[in-house]
Amino acid sequence: MSEIDLETARKVAHLARIAVPQENLPALAQELSQILTFMEELNEVDVEGVEPMTSVTPMRLKRRQDGVTDGDMQAKILSNAPDAREGFFAVPKVVE
Amino acid sequence: MSDLNKLTIADARDRLRAGDVTSVALTEACLEAIDGAGKLNAFVHHTPDIALERAKAADSRIKTGDAPAMCGIPVGIKDLFCTEGVASQAASRILEGFRPEYESTVSAQLRDAGAVMLGKLNMDEFAMGSSNETSVYGNAINPWKVDARDLTPGGSSGGSAAAVAADLCLAATGTDTGGSIRQPAAFTGTVGIKPTYGRCSRWGIVAFASSLDQAGPMTKTVRDAAIMLQAMCGHDPKDSTSVELPVPDFEAMLTGDIRGTKIGIPREYRLDAMPAEIAALWDNGAEMLRDAGAEIVDISLPHTKYALPAYYVIAPAEASSNLARYDGVRYGHRATLGPGDGITQMYEKTRAEGFGMEVQRRVMIGTYVLSAGFYDAYYNRARKVRTLIKRDFENVFAQGIDAILTPATPSAAFGLGEMVDADPVEMYLNDVFTVTVNLAGLPGIALPAGLDAKGLPLGLQLIGRPWEEGALLNTAHVLEAASGFVSKPEKWW
């Protein structure tokens, strides 16, 4: 069985940018371990020489001219922003 | 009460064209039914003004004699579809207040065909769930009831299934990543089809796992599924995975003749713990298809047991990437920040407040399996297993199998709250018969085929060859007629 320890759980939460309170880490670690154990059934399969699937339907993605097809909708783009100012998305200070 | 809300799409279409009924009358009947069904918590955003306006426009269009089949038909739209100016939240707190400035391609095609949107339907948060219990709106409730318990309508398209089963609308849109159309259809005695991956544009549908997600109709009959699917399908330059293939007239393909077709019965789907009722339903279904002239063939899909674990690597991996966009910057919820909080705290607090527990769990699992050092062991291995699962199907199709018959779910609808103490993996087992179809990109349809001893609907699933939804619908049509399922939930709400 795969064991996710508290430190790994904390690291994963941080990588996922989800704040998890300290007291919830043990339960999280246990749940993640359960799910990973389930996934480890895949280790029984012989995948030697098998290509990992990249596209479920055999298709080439279409290409188009690399050109502007749309635009001029600043107000629409900002209309749902939690904090928009002077035509920009506003966020807390990023650089000191 | 006019009962017009109980019509099928096909009947409503015929009566609209005959001038026997108006779209406004149909729409009013549905709106009245919705108003009386608050207990089911199926509709979570109501759009009666849009509905009546579109109904009036549909009535004028029908009078000109040039209206497509969906014109004037009142439908519900799953909350996962972005609808212009109308709340589209994917049942998540993180999209609270989000009103898209655009319309998803599928809902736009329905709108342009004249369909009438009644409102938005409940679902599991970001379509992650099999019981509609992860929704920010609270549980949707199954109109089927056999004792004091409230039952789940299934998930993730639980609101869609409940609304169609309770005749709150003539049909609804759903989406299916691992069974989210077919499992709720089975739990509510309705019909749901997930088309071949690439048939419907995913543009404007809130993404869960992009290589698995497909939209499809949830309806009262197979014929209705054919009619509505046709309106939803088609190439869309805005979704590079949507296929450039002509969309056939699915309804015209419902000939009722399946003589000479080969139906595969995969032995790996006969689970040890399968309830006798489900096994009997399955056997009966095979018998009915045989009576209709099909040849029943025992087949093997040897990698079936690895579908669920592969799915629960691939889907969360894609979700963790897709859901990275919910950062509190461009739309939706942003957490209130404390003094000194920087942008990382803003992301972390916003996502902790905005995502429910199941979504958080899947995003973190996805993050883990994609992280350095684990990518090969989990994600790449799962993608290789996916190749093998698809190959299983290709092999049986190459042997001449036209469609595959399986149960749709391992049980009938269960009680809301009954799985609360189960570990997450137990809930995932609901998808055991449906998830292979998404991994292989195939079309699959669930239809009601009988009742269990308590009186709850049970569904069968038919899986078709890629792009052959028409033939699949025809086989389902035959099975529907043979099983003669006509039961409806008794109104208690």
Over range B31-58, report the average pLDDT. 98
Nearest CA in chain A to B362: A32
B114 Cα to chain A: minimum distance (Å): 26
A80 Cα to chain B: minimum distance (Å): 5
Task: Please answer yes or no on whether B387 and A50 come within 8 Å at the CB atom.
Answer: yes
Over range A2-12, report the average pLDDT. 91
Coarse DSSP helix, strand, coil percentages of chain B, rounded to the nearest 5 percent: 40, 15, 45
Tell which residue, B484, B485, B288, B311, has the closest CA to residue B405: B288
B354 touches chain A (CB under 8 A): no
Task: Please answer yes or no on whether A79 and B99 come within 8 Å at the CB atom.
Answer: yes
Q: Is residue A2 a contact partner of residue A36, using CB atoms and an 8 Å limit? A: yes
Q: Is residue B192 a contact partner of residue B229, using CB atoms and an 8 Å limit? A: no
Choose the weakest-confidence range: B50-54, B162-166, B239-243: B239-243
Q: Is residue B333 a contact partner of residue B95, using CB atoms and an 8 Å limit? A: yes
pLDDT exceeds 60 at position B481 = yes
Model pLDDT, residue B140: 98
Chain B interface, mutation test: which of A42, A46, A63, most B Cβ atoms within 10 Å? A42
pLDDT by residue (tens digit) across A10-21? 999 999 999 999
B239 Cα to chain A: minimum distance (Å): 10
Nearest CA in chain A to B437: A56
Q: How far apart are CA B337 and CA B334, in angstroms?
A: 9
Task: Please answer yes or no on whether B424 and A34 come within 8 Å at the CB atom.
Answer: yes
Amino acid of residue A4: I
pLDDT by residue (tens digit) across B116-174? 999 999 999 999 999 999 999 999 999 999 999 999 999 999 999 999 999 999 999 99
Task: Please answer yes or no on whether A47 and B385 come within 8 Å at the CB atom.
Answer: yes
pLDDT by residue (tens digit) across B162-197? 999 999 999 999 999 999 999 999 999 999 999 999
Choose the weakest-confidence range: A14-23, B28-37, B269-278: B269-278
A59 Cα to chain B: minimum distance (Å): 8
Task: Please answer yes or no on whether A79 and B345 come within 8 Å at the CB atom.
Answer: no
Task: Please answer yes or no on whether A80 and B99 come within 8 Å at the CB atom.
Answer: yes
Model pLDDT, residue B424: 77
pLDDT exceeds 80 at position B342 = yes
Over range B2-11, report the average pLDDT. 95
For helices A25-39 and A6-15, give the axis angle rounded to 10 degrees: 90
* Chain A residues close to B214, C-beta within 8 Å: none
Over range B437-444, report the average pLDDT. 98
B330, B371, B388: residue with CB nearest A50: B388
pLDDT by residue (tens digit) across B347-388? 999 999 999 999 999 999 999 999 988 999 999 999 999 999
The residue ranges of DSSP E strands in B408-456, in sequence order, are 444-451
Chains A, B: CB contacts within 8 A come to: 172
Tell which residue, B25, B33, B92, B76, has the closest CA to residue B52: B25
Amino acid of residue A7: E
pLDDT exceeds 70 at position B1 = no
pLDDT band with cut points at 50, 70 and 90 for residue B430: confident
Over range B263-282, report the average pLDDT. 93
Nearest CA in chain B to A4: B368
pLDDT exceeds 80 at position A84 = yes
* Chain B residues close to A31, C-beta within 8 Å: 361, 423-424
Residues of B tagged active-site: 78, 156, 180
Cβ contacts of B6 within 8 Å, gap of 6 or more: B167
Q: How far apart are CA B92 and CA A63, in angstroms?
A: 34
* Chain B residues close to A53, C-beta within 8 Å: 211, 383-384, 386-387, 390
Q: In sequence order, which ranges of B114-240 are alpha helices (DSSP H)?
A: 158-165, 182-188, 222-232
* Chain B residues close to A38, C-beta within 8 Å: 308-309, 312, 425, 428
Please provide the DSSP assignment of B7-41 as one string: --HHHHHHHHHTTSS-HHHHHHHHHHHHHTTGGG-
Over range B230-251, report the average pLDDT. 96
- What percent of chain B shows pLDDT beyond 90? 95
* Chain B residues close to A12, C-beta within 8 Å: 364, 367-368, 371
B306, B313, B363: residue with CB nearest A18: B363
Q: Is residue B249 a contact partner of residue B230, using CB atoms and an 8 Å limit? A: yes
Could you report how far apart the first and last alpha carbons of chain B are, in Å?
Answer: 15
pLDDT band with cut points at 50, 70 and 90 for residue A96: low
Q: How far apart are CA B293 and CA B297, in angstroms?
A: 13
pLDDT by residue (tens digit) across B381-412? 999 999 999 999 999 999 999 999 999 999 99
Over range B312-327, report the average pLDDT. 97
Chain A interface, mutation test: which of B98, B308, B384, B388, most A Cβ atoms within 10 Å? B384
Model pLDDT, residue B2: 73
